[in-house]
Structure 1
Amino acid sequence: MEQQLSDDVGASDMRAVLVDSSSEEKSFRERLSTGHVVGLAMADVSPTMAVFLLSGAVFVSGGTLAAGVNILMMGVVVLIAMCLGELASMYPSAGGMYTLVRETLPAPFSWVTKFNYLLQGVIIPASIGIGIAQFLRDLYPTLPIPDAAIACMSIALAAFIAMTAVEVGAWLTGIMVFVELTVLGIVTVAGFTHAHQPIGELILHPVMLNAASNGTVAVGMVAIFASLAPAFNIINGYDAALGFAEELHGGRKNIGKAVVWSAIIASITIIVPLVAAMVAAPDLVAFLKAPSPVLYAVESAMGPWAKYVVDIGVTVALFNAALSLMMYFGRGLYATGRDGAWPQAINRRLASLNKHSVPAWATLALAVPACVLSFFSYLDWLVNFGGTMIAAVYFCIGLAAFWARISQPNVDRPFKMALWPLPPLVVIGFTGFALYSQGMQYLAGELVVIVVGLLCWQLSKKW
Structure 2
Amino acid sequence: MYDPTNGGKPPSRLEQLGYQQQLARRLKMWEVVGLAMADVSPTMAVLFLTAGVFLVGGTFAIGANLILAVIVVLIALCLAELASMYPIAGGMYSLVRQVLPAPFSWATTFNYLIQGIVIPASIALGIVGFLKDLFPALTAPAPVIAVVLLALAVAIALTKVEVGAWATAIMVVVELIVLAIITAAALSHPRQSLADITFNPTMLSDGQLVSVGAVVMLATLAPAFNVINGYDAALGFAEEIKGGERALPRAVIISAIMACVLIVIPLVAAVVAAPDLKAFFTAPAPVVYSVEQSLGSNARVIVDVGAVIALFNAMLSLLMYFGRVAYTTGRDQLWPKTVNRSLSRLNRFHSPAAGILILAVPAAVLVFTSALDFLIIFAGAVIAAVYFCIGLAALMSRISQARETRPYRMPLWPLPPLVVIAFTGLALAMQEVKYLVAEGVLVLIALACWLGSKRWSGAPESAHEPQLDAESA
| TM-score normalised by length of structure 2 | 0.93
Counterpart of 1:163? Answer: 158
Give per-residue Cα distances to partners, 1:242-300, cap 9 Å, x unaligned: 00000011231210110010000001000101111111101111111111110110010
Counterpart of 1:197? Answer: 192
Deviates more, 1:214-223 or 1:264-273: 214-223
Structure 1 residue 412 displacement after superposition = 1.1
Deviates more, 1:326-335 or 1:284-293: 284-293
Q: Are 1:310 and 2:283 matched, yes or no?
A: no
Cα distance in 1, alignment partners of residues 70 and 54 from structure 2: 20
Counterpart of 1:459? Answer: 452
Alignment of 1:32-431 (within 5 A): 32-211=27-206, 214-431=207-424
Give per-residue Cα distances to partners, 1:159-200, cap 9 Å, x unaligned: 110000000000010000000000000011111110000111
Cα distance in 1, alignment partners of residues 33 and 150 from structure 2: 22
Cα distance in 1, alignment partners of residues 203 and 145 from structure 2: 36
Cα distance in 1, alignment partners of residues 452 and 16 from structure 2: 22
Kindly tell me the number of residue pairs found equivalent between the two proteins. 447
3-state SS of paired residue (2:369): coil
1:257/1:415 contact within 8 Å kept: no
Identity in percent: 57
Cα distance in 2, alignment partners of residues 321 and 109 from structure 1: 28
Give per-residue Cα distances to partners, 1:320-365, cap 9 Å, x unaligned: 0000000000000000000000000000000000011110111011
2:68/2:224 contact within 8 Å kept: yes
Cα distance in 1, alignment partners of residues 181 and 224 from structure 2: 24
Cα distance in 2, alignment partners of residues 137 and 99 from structure 1: 40
1:95/1:332 contact within 8 Å kept: yes
Cα distance in 2, alignment partners of residues 39 and 442 from structure 1: 32
Counterpart of 2:432? Answer: 439
Counterpart of 1:18? Answer: none
Cα distance in 2, alignment partners of residues 250 and 330 from structure 1: 22
- The one-letter code matched in structure 2 to 1:365 is I
Cα distance in 2, alignment partners of residues 380 and 276 from structure 1: 29
Cα distance in 2, alignment partners of residues 301 and 169 from structure 1: 35
2:51/2:286 contact within 8 Å kept: yes
1:11/1:103 contact within 8 Å kept: no
1:80/1:424 contact within 8 Å kept: yes
Cα distance in 2, alignment partners of residues 456 and 167 from structure 1: 35
1:85/1:417 contact within 8 Å kept: yes
2:87/2:244 contact within 8 Å kept: no
Deviates more, 1:407-416 or 1:397-406: 407-416
Cα distance in 2, alignment partners of residues 360 and 251 from structure 1: 23
Structure 1 residue 9 displacement after superposition = 7.0
Structure 1 residue 222 displacement after superposition = 2.2
Cα distance in 1, alignment partners of residues 16 and 430 from structure 2: 39
1:135/1:314 contact within 8 Å kept: yes
3-state SS of paired residue (2:204): strand
Structure 1 residue 29 displacement after superposition = 1.0
Structure 1 residue 142 displacement after superposition = 2.8
Cα distance in 1, alignment partners of residues 15 and 35 from structure 2: 30
Counterpart of 1:28? Answer: 23
1:45/1:237 contact within 8 Å kept: yes
Which structure 1 residue ranges, 4+ long, deviate > 3 Å from structure 2?
Answer: 7-11
3-state SS of paired residue (1:217): strand
Cα distance in 1, alignment partners of residues 23 and 389 from structure 2: 27
Cα distance in 2, alignment partners of residues 160 and 94 from structure 1: 20
Structure 1 residue 10 displacement after superposition = 8.0
Structure 1 residue 144 displacement after superposition = 2.1
Cα distance in 2, alignment partners of residues 329 and 8 from structure 1: 19
Cα distance in 2, alignment partners of residues 149 and 425 from structure 1: 46
3-state SS of paired residue (1:209): strand
Q: Which runs of 5+ in 2 are unaligned?
A: 1-9, 457-473
3-state SS of paired residue (1:208): strand
- The one-letter code matched in structure 2 to 1:183 is V
RMSD, aligned α-carbons: 1.5
| TM-score normalised by length of structure 1 | 0.95
